[in-house]
Structure 1
Amino acid sequence: MTGPLGDTRRPPTAVEAAGRGATRIADRVVAKIAAQAAREALDTLSPDAVPPHATVVVHHGIARVRVHLELGYPSDIGGRCNAVRRHVAERVDELTGMEVPEVTVQVERLHLVPAAAAAQGRTR
């Protein structure tokens, strides 16, 4: 094909998806998604609790997540940690397409829930 000035132009060719490149999601972005998912799973936080934060290591599309959080006490700590694990894995997979085989939940601190403490009381 010859243009108006005599130059030869090639028609555009379709490039397959694999040849166009790849999208890379930074570890810190995945960590922010994981922290937000942990907040969603916990529903409510104690007023003096630090919001959950996460660290992530991504290698070949596999994300390993560690979530640090604080919980109210008394509560079902194991049950709440399992809910956080499950929700974080689901949300990171949904939003990034990464496999999440491991979510470690580290409870940094327990906060005494004032209403529960007053209602339970102590007996001797």
Structure 2
Amino acid sequence: MTVQSGEVGRPRAVVPPGERGATRIADRVVVKIASQAAREALGPLPGDASPPHAGVTVHHDTARVRIHLELDYPTDIGARCAAVRRHVAERVGALVGMEVPEVAVRVERLHPAHGAAQGRTR
């Protein structure tokens, strides 16, 4: 409600702060949060492993996330990827307020643990 010239003395309607505008979160911010969340979920990585990196597609209040990572070997790949998916979805949802219906995880490389046999064994 606005005050017209003939309405002097009428109180002006106050718009609550949450309804005054819009917040836009850049895709690169969501990428950074998703990458960090994947690092948190994985814990320590082998010394020569690259840190996880992410890609996102944001549409309105929905983010679809792709995580690329490297893991140590041997490991339970399925369980580790499930933990990454869960943690990334939770953190992105909590920190930026977006729905995350999909987190695709791609394992790019496996790093043998120190002392693990390399090559073919019989």
- Does the pair score TM above 0.5? yes
Deviation for aligned residue 1:123 = 6.2
1:72 and 2:41 aligned? no
What's the % identity of the aligned pairs?
A: 71
Q: RMSD of the alignment, in Å?
A: 2.4
Deviation for aligned residue 1:35 = 0.3
Are residues 25 and 123 of structure 1, via their aligned partners in 2, closer, same or farther at CA, if it must alter by over 3 Å? closer
State the alpha-carbon separation in 2 of the partners of residues 96 and 39 from structure 1: 18
What does the per-residue CA deviation read over 1:26-70, in whole Å, with 9 as the maximum and x for residues that have no partner?
Answer: 111001000000000001111001100100111010000000100
Correspondence for 1:100:
100
For residues 3-82 of structure 1, the aligned pairs below 5 Å read 13-17=13-17, 19-82=19-82
Extract structure 1 runs of 4+ deviating beyond 6 A. Answer: none
Unaligned runs of 5+ in 1: 1-7
Deviation for aligned residue 1:13 = 3.9
**Normalising to structure 1: TM-score of the pair?**
0.82
State the alpha-carbon separation in 1 of the partners of residues 91 and 11 from structure 2: 42
Q: Secondary structure at the match of 2:82?
A: helix
Aligned pairs, number? 115
Deviation for aligned residue 1:11 = 6.4
Amino acid at match of 1:25: I
Unaligned runs of 5+ in 2: 1-7
